[in-house]
Amino acid sequence: MATPDLEPYPHLFIGGRWAEPADGAHVDSIDPATGRPWARVAFAGPGDVDRAVAAAREAFAGPWRRLPGHERAALLRRFAELYQRHAPQLARIESRDNGRALRESRVDVGAHHQWLHWYASLADKLSGRTIPFDDSVHVFTSRLPVGVVAAITPWNVPLMSAIWKLAPALAAGCTVILKPAEHTPVSSLELARLVEAAGFPPGVVNVIPGGPEAGAALVAHPGVDKISFTGEGATAKAILRNGADTLKRFSFELGGKAPHIIFADADIEQALNAATGSAWALCGQSCALGSRVLVERPVYDRVVEEFARRAAKVRVGMPLDEATHMGPQAHAAQLEKTLSYVGIALGEGAELVAGGTRLDDGVLAGGYFVAPTVFANVNNDMRVAREEIFGPVAALIPFEGEEEAVALANATEYGLAAGLWTGDASRAHRVAARIEAGIVWVNTYRFLRWSTPYGGMKHSGWGRENGLEGLDAYLETRTTVVSTTGRFPDPYAQ
């Protein structure tokens, strides 16, 4: 099924083998920097989902479940070492597939092995508790793997999302079917090569690129015990309905509209570094970015001016070019969506102070590039402040004082992340404690590590990834009660 000039990825990874898709389907993966296909990739349908679930179930029932924790840990460590060694190539492939500037992908992908090592170190420590009651019973709990996990990932951070799910799921003793998004399938297939080289038993990890149809087949499948999903809220709702009949476990990492609050007493230079960086990183395509910048009145004009000045410094260009700060949007529909919000914001009376246009001169022609965009005089009721755009669009909203800052920060259906900048330590704690978000960064932003729980309140999700909480998501608890007397009264004696 090779097409000249396209990188061939003709197989799915199922049960430890490279398999042709059951119905022979292949799709082109588009390079968003050129708008042209760059790889031809196997595309899973429902028949492949059946095969992958069967392989994952067999592995779960067989060798994987019986493998002691320290041996699972050893495999995870071998995988981590291979992953670290191949991180530079993985980062390039990720950037090719989703357009993220290589300088960003390199930092992101270059840290993933830490997740694998950290969870490896927990694989043999899944201990329960003894529960003191009275002398008549000995009560203890055990932690058990949930079973077969379907990991459904988005296109903005395919490898990060895969590793955030694979590391704890494998440490817990689950088996996994990874389904990357249809726009960005390639890096997950490269990851499968490393799984194979690490020597995991067949079926412990299966990788099947596919679209919504394959995703829905995984969700409905009675052989899948848990769905770990990262993506849009609307998709999560469809998944909940579709998975209801089989009463699956779900965890959801969904969208955000993070407030990034800058108080006048903050170190404004540092705040600007974080706020501009996080407005335009990943070309705006990350759930945690501070897309609503709330700025206290006395420093508002200065912050607006600086955003406009710094927008002009952002080098938008080809993702693999070392000089590039910001690549294109990851696919054509996202480009259209971002540009449509420029019109919406202008229509609502926001003031465009930078960007707002597609960039398609010279080498950028054909790619999905957008200029870093800044809107001033935004109020929190505007759609540009309420809805997740997923483009490099910063909405700068003025406020007066702490009460208004907190009210605006929380006036959103989302609750994933928030940032705040202040020179007053008491205020930092006071405000952080009132923010409705799964993570609050104070005088820093986007600090995300393997050990720090991450996930959403409100419409931003269910459950947490990373940290010990991330492992809990893949474990069940069994309570065992053992009588120390062996006596059980006859209920019908009298």
Residue positions annotated with a catalytic role: 253
- CB of 235 or CB of 422, closer to ligand NAD: 235
- CB of 249 or CB of 310, closer to ligand NAD: 249
Could you say whether residue 255 binds ligand NAD (CB under 6 A)?
Answer: yes
Only one of the segments 166-174, 191-199, 249-257, 268-276 lies at the binding site for ligand NAD (rule: CB under 6 A); that segment is: 249-257
Among 75, 207, 239, 316, binds ligand NAD (CB under 6 A): 239
Could you say whether residue 461 binds ligand NAD (CB under 6 A)?
Answer: yes
Q: Residue 111 and residue 131: Cα distance in Å, rounded? A: 38
Could you say whether residue 231 binds ligand NAD (CB under 6 A)?
Answer: yes
**Least gap, CB of 473 to ligand NAD (angstroms):** 13
Among 6, 111, 137, 238, binds ligand NAD (CB under 6 A): 238
Could you say whether residue 154 binds ligand NAD (CB under 6 A)?
Answer: yes
Sign of torsion over alpha carbons 413, 342, 96, 310:
negative
**Residue 131, strand partner residues:** 139
Could you say whether residue 243 binds ligand NAD (CB under 6 A)?
Answer: no
**Least gap, CB of 231 to ligand NAD (angstroms):** 3
Main-chain phi, psi angles of 486, to 5 degrees: 75, 5
Instruction: Compute the half-sphere exposure of residue 381: CA atoms within 13 Å on the CB side of its CA.
Output: 2
- CB of 239 or CB of 266, closer to ligand NAD: 239
List Cβ neighbours of 172 (8 Å cut-off, separation of 6 or more).
Answer: 123, 126, 143, 145, 146, 471, 474, 475
Quick check: 190 and 92 in contact, CB under 8 A? no
Could you say whether residue 181 binds ligand NAD (CB under 6 A)?
Answer: yes
In eight-state DSSP terms, residue 245 is: G
**Residue 178, strand partner residues:** 151, 207
Among 29, 84, 95, 153, binds ligand NAD (CB under 6 A): 153
Burial tier of 135 (Cβ tally within 10 Å: 0-12, 13-18, 19+): exposed
Could you say whether residue 30 binds ligand NAD (CB under 6 A)?
Answer: no
Could you say whether residue 206 binds ligand NAD (CB under 6 A)?
Answer: no
Among all residues, whose Cβ is closest to ligand NAD?
Answer: 215
Among 105, 156, 251, 278, binds ligand NAD (CB under 6 A): 156
Render 283-338 in DSSP notation, one character per residue: GG--TTS--EEEEEHHHHHHHHHHHHHHHHH--B--TTSTT-SB---SSHHHHHHH
Q: Residue 303 and residue 267: Cα distance in Å, rounded? A: 12
Q: Would you call 148 helix, strand, or coil by DSSP?
A: strand
- CB of 301 or CB of 413, closer to ligand NAD: 413
Q: Give CA 223 to chain center in angstroms.
A: 24
Could you say whether residue 62 binds ligand NAD (CB under 6 A)?
Answer: no
Q: In which order are the strands placed within the sheet that holds 26-31?
A: 7-9, 36-42, 26-31
**Residue 141, strand partner residues:** 479
Among 52, 82, 152, 376, binds ligand NAD (CB under 6 A): 152
Residues from 290 through 349 that contact ligand NAD (CB under 6 A): none
Q: Calculate helix-pair angle for 69-98, 112-120, nearest 10 degrees.
A: 170
Helices (H) and strands (E) in the chain, counts: 16, 25
Only one of the segments 207-215, 263-271, 400-408, 442-450 lies at the binding site for ligand NAD (rule: CB under 6 A); that segment is: 207-215
Could you say whether residue 287 binds ligand NAD (CB under 6 A)?
Answer: yes
Only one of the segments 41-49, 179-187, 316-324, 472-480 lies at the binding site for ligand NAD (rule: CB under 6 A); that segment is: 179-187
- CB of 48 or CB of 253, closer to ligand NAD: 253
Q: Residue 307 and residue 305: Cα distance in Å, rounded? A: 6
- CB of 204 or CB of 282, closer to ligand NAD: 282
Could you say whether residue 109 binds ligand NAD (CB under 6 A)?
Answer: no
- CB of 198 or CB of 435, closer to ligand NAD: 435
- CB of 15 or CB of 243, closer to ligand NAD: 243
- CB of 101 or CB of 159, closer to ligand NAD: 159
Could you say whether residue 155 binds ligand NAD (CB under 6 A)?
Answer: yes
**Least gap, CB of 18 to ligand NAD (angstroms):** 21
Burial tier of 236 (Cβ tally within 10 Å: 0-12, 13-18, 19+): buried
- Among candidates 367, 444, 383, 380, which has minimal Cα distance to 410? 380
Could you say whether residue 251 binds ligand NAD (CB under 6 A)?
Answer: no
Could you say whether residue 91 binds ligand NAD (CB under 6 A)?
Answer: no
Q: Would you call 55 helix, strand, or coil by DSSP?
A: helix
Question: Which residues of this protein are in contact with ligand NAD, per CB under 6 A?
Answer: 152-157, 179, 181-182, 211-212, 215-216, 219, 230-232, 235, 238-239, 253-256, 287, 388, 390, 416, 456, 461
